[in-house]
Amino acid sequence: MCTVKALSSQTMTSSPLRTLYDLPVSNNGARCRIILYKKEIPSSEVAVVSPMELGGLKTQEYLKVNPQGKMPAMVCTETGLNIAESDTICRYILSVYKDGPSFQPENPKSNLISRLHDMYLTTIQNCMYKAGPFGNFGTRKDAIAEYVKQMNVIESLIDPDDGMYLCGNEISLADATVFPSMIFAAHMLPKFDIEPPLPPNLNKWYNQLKNTDPVFEKVHDEVMSGLNAWEEKNRWHPILGAGWRDEEPATIFDKLMSGDIPATVVKQDDKIFAFKDINPAAPAHVLVIPKDRSGLTRLGKATEEHTEILGRLLVAAAEISKDKELGFGDGARIVINDGPDGGQEVPHLHVHVLGGRSMQWPPG
Ligand code: 5GP
């Protein structure tokens, strides 16, 4: 069993050969630390230092080390090379420090799992804890669904009878790469009602490493210390799904969407629903609403979370306003009544698209 040194800014008498700028909560940095701890590389060789030592991630000093202002980054005093990408840092450490586990068994599955992780999970990992954007996914919900789907792709590559590690009985880069992300997933996904958060093979592997291997246990505790600190600072409060939920009662618009009350549907897709207003205020009068209200009882409740759906509503309104068959002419009045002073009656955000006559200004 190896001894594990504390992760902290370390005081040294002479400069280390290499400095890893990283913090305990850093997901990608954690994979580098797993390798450092497993190989018992001393801080005189690789010192793990907080980016705050250079003033923080966005300072000129740090940006010289990593122009993206992200963690981790490694400065190699010997070569003068800065490596600002976790997988490359790991492979560099493995190429320099041969003692201990190689992390590179002759099994292509290790590289495959690591690459799948970095291409499809890392790129949207922030959907669990940050404001968007979430890669190619417009909403947090969509990104989380994709995250779960991609976890299942890795799940399908695991043989539960194969051994304690992802690629059998030998630890590999895949274990170091995937484990830190699963700490986030196990902690965060239940907040979004995803239970159980990890698929069975990944769950078994994750818990076994966390509970029986002191290095993985240590890294788990490091990441969790960061997550718990965020928890205490109410970091999840502004996040739809994790911190707050739309618990307002359903409105008549839900009945129109379900068909319980008939509506003249003009247009709909996976995200929006448009129908003729029952009490038209102009020759052409269509309402466009988000199918999933997600807290948008009124426009005033919009947050960064809603950027995509707000765009979708306006694009749909633009298309509808050009539809001559609906009675629109050249242009339209697009209105969102917001709250009591705005004259809003139905607490489910809706965009009025009015046309077929010349509008007056100012409105009443
Ligand atoms: P608000 O005043 O909240 O901005 O607009 C609500 C709109 O919903 C009104 O223009 C109203 O005529 C319309 N509306 C209310 N109930 C129904 C309904 O059952 N069917 C349809 N098609 N429109 C409705």
| Mean pLDDT, rounded, for 120-131 | 93
Give the tokens for residue 270.
């996976």
Give the tokens for residue 68.
């993206």
User: What does the pLDDT look like over 251-302, one tens digit per residue?
Assistant: 999 999 999 999 999 999 999 999 999 999 999 999 999 999 999 999 999 9
Residue 343 CA, closest ligand 1 atom number: 2
Instruction: Indicate if 350 belongs to the active site.
Output: yes
pLDDT of residue 222: 96
The enclosing H or E element of 342 equals helix 339-342
User: Which amino acid does the sequence have at 81?
Assistant: L
Q: Above 60 in pLDDT, residue 8? A: no
Q: How many whole angstroms separate alpha carbon 326 and alpha carbon 186?
A: 50
Q: Above 80 in pLDDT, residue 364? A: no
**Nearest CA-CA partner of 115 in 90, 96, 145, 136:** 90
Q: Exposure of 160 by Cβ count < 10 A (0-12 exposed, 13-18 middle, 19+ buried)?
A: exposed
- pTM here? 0.88
Helix (H/G/I), strand (E/B), else coil: 76: strand
239 CB-near residues (< 8 Å, 6+ apart): 129, 131, 140, 305
pLDDT of residue 305: 87
| Mean pLDDT, rounded, for 88-104 | 96
Residue nearest to atom 17 of ligand 1 (CA): 278
93 CB-near residues (< 8 Å, 6+ apart): 32, 35, 36, 39, 41, 46
For 93, 122, 155, the CA distances from 170, given in Å and listed in that order, are 18, 24, 18
Residue 16's pLDDT band (boundaries 50, 70, 90)? Answer: confident
pLDDT of residue 3: 38
- Does the C-beta of 346 come closer than 6 Å to ligand 1? yes
pLDDT of residue 102: 97
Helix (H/G/I), strand (E/B), else coil: 118: helix
Q: How many whole angstroms separate alpha carbon 8 and alpha carbon 25?
A: 12
Q: Above 70 in pLDDT, residue 6? A: no
Percent pLDDT > 70 in the chain is 96
- Does the C-beta of 261 come closer than 6 Å to ligand 1? yes
Task: Out of 254, 313, 345, give the residue to mutate to test ligand 1, the one with the largest number of ligand atoms within 8 Å of its CB.
Answer: 345
pLDDT of residue 284: 98
| Mean pLDDT, rounded, for 107-128 | 96
Q: How many whole angstroms separate alpha carbon 28 and alpha carbon 45?
A: 20
Q: How many whole angstroms separate alpha carbon 51 and alpha carbon 88?
A: 19
Residue 281 CA, closest ligand 1 atom number: 10
For 79, 107, 185, 207, 277, the CA distances from 188, given in Å and listed in that order, are 39, 31, 5, 16, 41
Contact of 319 with 266, CB cutoff 8 Å:
no
Mean pLDDT (the chain, rounded): 93
| List 220, 285, 348, 350, catalytic entry | 350
- Does the C-beta of 278 come closer than 6 Å to ligand 1? yes
Percent pLDDT > 90 in the chain is 87
CA of 341 to the centre of ligand 1 (A): 17
| Domains along the sequence of the chain with CATH | 1-100 (3.40.30.10), 104-245 (1.20.1050.10), 252-355 (3.30.428.10)
Task: Out of 251, 260, 267, 279, give the residue to mutate to test ligand 1, the one with the largest number of ligand atoms within 8 Å of its CB.
Answer: 279
- Does the C-beta of 275 come closer than 6 Å to ligand 1? yes
Poorest-pLDDT segment among 3-7, 330-334, 356-360: 3-7
| Mean pLDDT, rounded, for 9-18 | 64
pLDDT of residue 14: 65
Omega of the bond prior to 280 within 30 degrees of 0, cis? no
CA of 279 to the centre of ligand 1 (A): 7
CA of 278 to the centre of ligand 1 (A): 6
322 CB-near residues (< 8 Å, 6+ apart): 328
Give the tokens for residue 349.
């955000």
Angle at alpha carbon of residue 83, lines to 79 and 89, rounded to 5° = 105
pLDDT of residue 1: 35
**Nearest CA-CA partner of 246 in 351, 348, 142:** 348
Q: Above 50 in pLDDT, residue 56? A: yes
Q: Above 90 in pLDDT, residue 138? A: no
**Nearest CA-CA partner of 34 in 158, 178, 188, 205:** 178
The enclosing H or E element of 209 equals helix 200-212
**Nearest CA-CA partner of 209 in 229, 223, 191:** 223
Residue 345 CA, closest ligand 1 atom number: 3
User: What does the pLDDT look like over 176-229, one tens digit per residue?
Assistant: 999 999 999 999 999 999 999 999 999 999 999 999 999 999 999 999 999 999
Q: Above 80 in pLDDT, residue 237? A: yes
Give the number of other CB atoms < 10 A from CB of residue 312.
20
